[in-house]
Structure 1
Amino acid sequence: MNTRARKPAVISLAIFVAAALLFVPLVGLAENDHSDHSATAEPAATTQPAEGKKHEMAAKHLATMAKLQALLAEAKQAADSKDIETAAKKIAEAQALLEKQHQAMHKHMKAMGATSGDKPAPQCPMCQAAPQASAKIANTRCPMMGSTLKLEKVTEKLTREFKGQKIGFCCGGCPAAWDNLSDEQKEAKLKKAAAK
């Protein structure tokens, strides 16, 4: 047989054997991972409640997801029919339910040792989104009083939209006073507060 013809066949055979040698131990590991672990398993009486608890928690999470989906569907339907009040109410209910789940998640994470104290989990996108929401406020000082804003304390009730920007205020009386100003007065107040 020609050595040129034999060389690709030998290389192919070597690759096949190497792959087989790598594959066989992996199959063995997979079989070990899926064995019944009878030598190390705890008695069924002690593992059963934990499994039941897991399934109960999963069922609760699925029910919550279904409730969220229903609330958002109702909000969309209300928005499509121009019922803004109902849409806003349904969205607020969904947000409250999400926040409740968010807090429960942190409680579970703390119990598992994933977080400590009252500090948010660094990998939690909802906790990371909270400071970003307040960062959307265009001003750092209250345009009415001139005081420095603590952005983390500026709630939606303490904001107004003006020329495409979210304007924050220091206290509950300022937004109402802002509403009584003309656009020119509002611009002057913003400019004066920014200059401080």
Structure 2
Amino acid sequence: MQAFPRPPGGQERLGQDAEPGDDKGTPAGLGRPTYNWLASLPTDPDKLLTYLYARTPKSGEEGQERDQAVFEEIGSLVGTVMPPGTAAALHRAAARIPGVSEAPDAQDAIGRKGVGISRDDTTFGTRTEWVFDKKDLHLLGSRTYLIRDTRYGEAGTLMSGEAVLAQAVVDKAGETPAVSEQS
């Protein structure tokens, strides 16, 4: 398993060099977070948060809180391969977003418990939790569930969940990694 699974049909470069529909190549940034781009981010959590608030696109979902959009943007970066200083800054920046709290009972999609942080999206009635290993703080997974009854279901309904079972780095696109378990 890879951090970014390859799309079917041998399109190994999709997601690495371009966003869907972009035939000229997407520059490194939030839409294509390369290792070098991640390494260039500020490692001071306050400066990083300022940077992310300035560059996080408004969500396509009408009414989404700005703080939630930035929290979700950080969530899209957490767990990717990056320098440790950048990872630490992202964690510290996320903790400074209004509404972010500790999630003591957090568990990933397969039930592994860990150190969790969460944020309630009061606009849409959901809670998103990120779960990290207690020993080395690598990402175990995440889950989002309803915190109130909505047209999508009753409070407590799981809306999405993921578990990171393994990650690997390869020398070139399309190469099959030698995978080792992170548990």
Larger radius of gyration between Structure 1 and Structure 2: 1
Higher helix share: 1
TM (norm. structure 2) is: 0.23
Higher relative contact order (CA 8 A, sep 6+): 2
Higher strand share: 2
